[in-house]
Amino acid sequence: MSKRFQLVGSLLRPAELLEYKRKIEEREDITYPFYSNFEGYEACEDNAIRQVIKKQIDQGIDVISDGEYSKALWHLDFYWGLHGLERKMASSGYKFRDHDGTSAFETRKDIGIDIVAPLSGKNHHLISIFKKIESAADGHQTKLCIPSISQMYGEITLSKAIGKYNDHVYTTQQDLKDGLLKSYKEFVDDFAAAHGKILQLDDCLWTLFADDNPNSPFTGVGEVKGVEFANEFIELNNAVIDYAKTKGLKIWTHNCRGNYKSRNMGAGSYEKIADLFLKQQRYDRFFLEWDDERAGSLDSLKAFADRNGEVVLGLLSSKTSTLDDETRTLQCLDDASKIIDKNRLFLSHKCGFASCDNGNELTEAQQWEKIKQGQKIALQYWGE
């Protein structure tokens, strides 16, 4: 077991929990966190969270989460829990690339939101989830994963599927940014008050700004906006990072190109955005994806050469049911350590195993075998 191997976050849900999650996606007439709508749901989720935390501890994972068991989708549960926001069915789901690489694969449609009042992050349900994680983790290091502020701002601003902000609540985009920042700071306050130490802000929008990205990761969006808009993302993220650090928190991030039933959404290399998102954002730890050619060369790691921060190399695939090529993984680790000191590097799978509750196309047994392989490779490479 090696502390140099890290879990991005999500793990496959057990069948009894999935029964409840699947009911959620078909219903618009229910209110987050949905416990009162389904008898037995909360007790089932609580038990599943305790079990998956125990499994992580038994497996030697050193940073514990709830495996995203408390969520239906990696980002929308955070949105749904903000005061001033309402969940709704959208006209279409997100569009992913199917296994053939060309045809579209549509996700569930309960992804729409309406901002109906000024947003607030106070008393968010995920804080109560974090308290359950802390209790079950029994002194082990823990983290909570939520979407970054730029992820939420980008989706509200650009995506026709998820819904536009209402002019009567936030008149301008600057008003929207101010409202989002206020709500995130309120959430950070509550997380710090709950004795949280590590907050991971996940984001799938960075490579939207890579000019070698042939497709946008949003439904119905045409021409990609440029560096000026990317800088808005970076400024928002850094504002949250800086504020959280005043509360004594470590702030991590994971960048993803889409993960839904082993399908992907985006392309674009890190090389094209390195001077923006890798060099300028002030996260303490970056979880990045290098499981296939879409990420481009490891040379983009040069953006970290003259700055602080740790990098988790997502060289292993969480989308496949088979074990990964260990020779390739070790060679990539060697190549990366020529750019950044190996003591600043970690190893992970490219993403979680179930960013959305349906999960990727592998079994729980296969998932844990892949995790064991990752730990073995990390121990072989770092000796710890």
**What tens digit of pLDDT does each residue of 103-148 get?**
677 788 999 999 999 999 999 999 999 999 999 999 999 999 999 9
- Angle of helix 41-59 relative to helix 125-137, nearest 10 degrees? 40
* Residue-level pLDDT at 2: 86
CA triple 22-267-325, angle to 5 deg: 85
Q: Which carries the bigger pLDDT value, residue 10 or residue 208? A: 10
CA dist list (Å): 373 to 189, 244, 348: 38, 34, 10
Rounded Cα distance between 66 and 132, Å, is 9
* Residue-level pLDDT at 50: 98
Rounded Cα distance between 176 and 118, Å, is 9
Query: Residue 7's closest CA among 96, 67, 72, 94?
Result: 67
The pairing of strands 83-88 and 112-120 is antiparallel
Name the DSSP letter for residue 356. B
Q: How confident is the model at residue 356 (pLDDT cuts 50, 70, 90)?
A: confident
The encoded tokens of residue 247 equal 């509360």
Average pLDDT over residues 352-363: 89
Average pLDDT over residues 156-180: 81
Average pLDDT over the chain reads: 90
Q: How confident is the model at residue 221 (pLDDT cuts 50, 70, 90)?
A: very low
Max CA separation in the chain (angstroms): 58
Average pLDDT over residues 183-191: 98
Q: What is the pLDDT of residues 307-319, one digit of tens each?
A: 889 999 999 999 9
Indicate the residue type of 365: A
Displacement of CA 356 from its chain's centroid (Å): 10
Beta bridge partners of 58: none
* Residue-level pLDDT at 166: 60
Rounded Cα distance between 3 and 317, Å, is 19
* Residue-level pLDDT at 143: 98
Query: Residue 359's closest CA among 5, 22, 53?
Result: 22
Rounded Cα distance between 111 and 245, Å, is 31
Q: What is the pLDDT of residues 1-59, one digit of tens each?
A: 789 999 999 999 999 999 999 999 999 999 999 999 999 999 999 999 999 999 999 99
Least confident residue range of 1-15, 90-104, 168-182: 90-104
Q: How confident is the model at residue 220 (pLDDT cuts 50, 70, 90)?
A: very low
Which CATH architecture group holds 5-382? Alpha-Beta Barrel (3.20)
Least confident residue range of 49-53, 91-95, 240-244, 260-264: 260-264
Q: How confident is the model at residue 248 (pLDDT cuts 50, 70, 90)?
A: very high
The encoded tokens of residue 270 equal 């890190």
Q: Residue 371 in contact with residue 7, Cβ under 8 Å?
A: yes
Rounded Cα distance between 111 and 89, Å, is 6
Average pLDDT over residues 327-342: 97
Provide, rounded to the nearest whole percent, the portion of the chain with pLDDT above 90: 73
Average pLDDT over residues 261-279: 82
Q: Residue 370 in contact with residue 5, Cβ under 8 Å?
A: no
Rounded Cα distance between 384 and 382, Å, is 5
Average pLDDT over residues 353-375: 93
Residue 245: φ, ψ to 5°? -70, -30
The encoded tokens of residue 281 equal 């954002």
Q: How confident is the model at residue 328 (pLDDT cuts 50, 70, 90)?
A: very high
Average pLDDT over residues 194-200: 98
> Where exactly are the structural domains of the chain?
5-382
* Residue-level pLDDT at 157: 87
Average pLDDT over residues 63-72: 97
214 preceded by a cis bond (ω within 30 of 0):
no
Sign of the Cα pseudo-torsion (192, 198, 201, 207, in order): positive
Sign of the Cα pseudo-torsion (124, 142, 276, 351, in order): negative
Rounded Cα distance between 227 and 136, Å, is 43
* Residue-level pLDDT at 192: 98
Average pLDDT over residues 213-227: 52
User: 56: Cβ–Cβ under 8 A, 6 or more apart, which residues?
Assistant: 7, 64, 65, 67
